[in-house]
Amino acid sequence: MIAGAAAVLVGAGLIGVAMQARPVPPLPIGPGVLPAVVGLGLLGVGAALMVARREPHDPAPSRPDRTGLTGLALAIALPLALAATLETVGVALGLPLVLAPLLAWHGMPPGRAMLLAVAMTGALLALLGGLLRVPLPLGPLAGVPPWT
Amino acid sequence: MTPAALGAALALLLTPQVLAVMAGAAVLGLVVGALPGLTATLGVALLVPFALLLEPLPALAGVVTLAAVAITAGDLPGALLRVPGTPASAAYAEAAHRLARRGRAGLALGTGLVCAAVGGVAGALVLLLGAPALAGLALHMSTVERFWLAVLGLSAAAVVAGPSPPRGALAVLIGLALALVGLDPVSGQPRLTFGLTDLSGGLGLIPVMIGLFAVSRVLAHALDPKTDERAPPRIGPVFAGLGQALGRRRRAIALGGGVGVVIGAIPGAGADIAAYVAQAVARRLTPGRTKGEDDHDLDAIAPAGAANNAAIGGALVPATVLGIPGDSLTAIVIGVLMLNGITPGPAAFLLHGDTMAAVLLAFLLANLLLVPAGLLALALARPLLAAPPVVLMPLILGVCLVGSYAVERTTTALVVTMAAGVLGLLMERGRVPLAPVVLGLVLGPLIEEMALTSLMKAGGDPAVLVERPGALGLALVTAAVWGVPAVRAGIAHVRHPRDSD
């Protein structure tokens, strides 16, 4: 029911986008064709899902508690904070600050969580930067690893 | 190929230098394939600077070995972490992960490995024996046929992937909607970019795939930590029941290999379409085998796994015979050939016949190496699964974030990854399958470009889409994919109204 309603809303939005797209002269078609088709499809599928009955063996999703919602907020907010600061802080300093609070949230002692987060980050950096030569932002630590 | 030419090619291939390069490339392929976010294409691109320092044959043998092993090694995170290594392996990553959570990861990966090897060998043999004929067939596919082939792939994904066709169709449409972000492929007008220049190239496939499959699982664990404690993935025995599982699916594996070779040979199509179409074809042509949950999941893995690797051999047909790259991977192979002084095309087989034959044999050998390489990867993966979910989940998140950044080199990729993770979480709670989203995202631009190009050539007349016999045939097959299950369900409803309720 909720998935169907969301599909109908997104479908209506895409049809709005399609109506604003300018066709490619001299033809009456252009960048609005696919958004219109996808939008109509979403309207149709959404309507079908809204009228469909829940099957008896369909398990209803469990209702999350406050602790779960806090954990979810943490798991979303910390990576987004990393995205906002990655170019400045770098992977070596930024990633442990994401991983350590998540490990601690799941019950690991804070000191051990920070140690493990730093070790995991070091292993990832050595593998990607050192072995595979994939350039990663290092922030203030640029030039410190032996492969840079 | 004459026996003398085969012998000459084998003599070129079976030298310590070539075999050592192939072994090294296989190890690199294992590392690249097993790391979420790093693709076979990226691995081959990393190998290019080294390939320039080598003779043509070891360089090309290394490239094809790395590609084959990396694509197969991508099944490992697919089964254990539910992070598909390639868009094609998204077709069966969920089935493999379900088996892993029932303690049958060994069987899932063993089946995938053997099917990949069989499919790859089939592709290599077709490449060796029938490349010119298949290339001719592929060249007859116009933009209209490619459009219908892509629509057929999406239809097959919608019908086979979900708990019901409407939910599968919703997943495909979500993928197509995500594919709308960026510049319109025909006119170049920005769409749904919200003024962000980073989005003008569209949503990156890797960040979306990582977000949908891996980050969504990390978020689900954060929301309800008991979920993973109930059924952590386990490898279990690899060979127990493998022979029986493969024997019962030999027709499905053969069909997957055939579908993979033919679809892989069509430029612009590829392993991702092949995997879903192979699943749909095998389900239709080999029905009545499924008995339990394990059988159901193995039925999804076998044909798609074979099609996945067979498509590489198929894609190498137009690449080597005509010099037309079927996908980004074969484009790099063509680049390595040219950097080594071999211009792909019919003349390459005349001027460098022994070398080209040896390269094709190297691809055959690489596919035979898949099974031992995969078993080595399984052995190395066992300690990873000993880690409790509270440690494993943040580790997965860290690998996902760094992997996304490594591929896209922009922090927007991290935001896209997290947004896709939230979308994946919501889809899972709504019982909407994830895999068809990937196919929708991959094929959206192709469908739009092929359809608009064909319509523009015909002055906007939609009849152009069904005028050619091949296009009409593919359109009818697509209609049958949707129509046959609907008619069957209708008949069942009329005959047994209570059961069908």
Q: Which chain A residue has its CA at the smallest distance from B413's CA?
A: A83
Among B39, B147, B191, the strongest candidate for a mutation testing the A interface, having the largest count of A CBs within 10 A, is B191
Task: Calculate how close chain A gets to B106, using CA atoms only, in Å.
Answer: 26
Query: Which residues 6+ apart lie within 8 Å of A95 measured at CB?
Result: A82, A117, A120, A121, A124, B398, B401, B402
Which positions of chain B have pLDDT values less than 50? 500-501
pLDDT at B63: 84
CA distance B488 to B492: 6
Of B271, B315, B132, B352, nearest in space to B337 by CA: B352
Q: Which of B411, B418, B430 sits opposite A3 (nearest CB)?
A: B430
Chain A partners within 8 Å of B184 (Cβ): 21, 30-31
pLDDT digits (tens, 9 = 90+) for B329-377: 777 777 777 777 787 776 777 777 777 788 888 888 888 887 887 787 7
State the average pLDDT over residues A14-38: 82
CB contact under 8 A, B31 and A131: yes
Residue A36 has pLDDT above 90, yes or no: yes
Q: Which chain B residue has its CA at the smallest distance from A55's CA?
A: B501
Q: Which chain A residue has its CA at the smallest distance from B49's CA?
A: A133
CA distance B80 to B93: 9
Q: Which of B173, B176, B422 sits opposite A76 (nearest CB)?
A: B422
Q: Which chain A residue has its CA at the smallest distance from B47's CA?
A: A132
DSSP B65-100: HHHHHHHHHTHHHHHHHS--SSTTTHHHHHHHHHHH
Chain A partners within 8 Å of B166 (Cβ): 45, 48-49, 52
Chain B partners within 8 Å of A69 (Cβ): 223
Q: Which chain B residue has its CA at the smallest distance from A2's CA?
A: B430
Among B164, B176, B218, B223, the strongest candidate for a mutation testing the A interface, having the largest count of A CBs within 10 A, is B223
CA distances B87 to A136, B24, B205, B375, B386, Å, are 24, 25, 8, 22, 28
Task: Calculate how close chain A gets to B325, using CA atoms only, in Å.
Answer: 25
Q: What are the b/e assignments for B161-172, b being 16+ CB within 10 Å?
A: bbebbbbbbbbb
Residue A25 has pLDDT above 80, yes or no: no
Averaged pLDDT of chain A: 85
Q: Which of B187, B409, B448 sits opposite A24 (nearest CB)?
A: B187
Using the 8-state DSSP alphabet, how is residue B212 labeled?
Answer: I
CA distance B416 to B404: 9
Q: Which of A45, A99, A117 sits opposite B166 (nearest CB)?
A: A45
- The complex's ipTM works out to 0.91
CB contact under 8 A, A87 and B170: no
Long-range CB pairs of B315-318, under 8 A, 24+ apart, other chains included: B315/B264, B315/B265, B315/B270, B315/B271, B316/B64, B316/B123, B316/B127, B316/B360, B316/B363, B317/B126, B317/B127, B317/B131, B317/B134, B317/B135, B317/B138, B317/B264, B317/B265, B318/B135, B318/B138, B318/B139, B318/B265, B318/B267
Chain B partners within 8 Å of A121 (Cβ): 398
Residue with the two structure tokens 């190498």: B316
pLDDT at A131: 73
Per-domain boundaries in chain B:
3-500
CB contact under 8 A, A34 and B444: yes
pLDDT band, residue A93 (cuts 50/70/90): very high
CB contact under 8 A, B402 and A133: no
Task: Calculate how close chain B gets to A148, using CA atoms only, in Å.
Answer: 16
* CB-based contact B196:A75 (threshold 8 Å): no
State the average pLDDT over residues A99-116: 91
The model scores a pTM over 0.95: no
Chain B partners within 8 Å of A21 (Cβ): 184, 189, 191
Q: Which of A41, A72, A120 sits opposite B395 (nearest CB)?
A: A120
pLDDT at B416: 94
CB contact under 8 A, B173 and A83: no
pLDDT at B90: 81
Q: Which chain A residue has its CA at the smallest distance from B176's CA?
A: A38
pLDDT digits (tens, 9 = 90+) for B292-326: 778 888 888 999 989 988 888 888 877 777 676 66
CB contact under 8 A, B170 and A31: no
Q: Which of A49, A76, A116 sits opposite B418 (nearest CB)?
A: A76
State the average pLDDT over residues A27-34: 78
| Residue B84 backbone phi and psi in degrees, to 5 | -65, 140
Cα–Cα–Cα angle for B170, B172, B178, rounded to 5 degrees: 100
Which stretches of A21-109 are DSSP H helices? 33-51, 66-89, 91-105
Q: Which chain B residue has its CA at the smallest distance from A38's CA?
A: B173
How many residue contacts between A and B have a Cβ separation below 8 Å? 173
Q: Which of B176, B192, B460 sits opposite A29 (nearest CB)?
A: B460
Distance from the first to the final alpha carbon of chain B: 59
Task: Calculate how close chain A gets to B299, using CA atoms only, in Å.
Answer: 22
Q: Which of A17, A74, A131 sits opposite B192 (nearest CB)?
A: A17
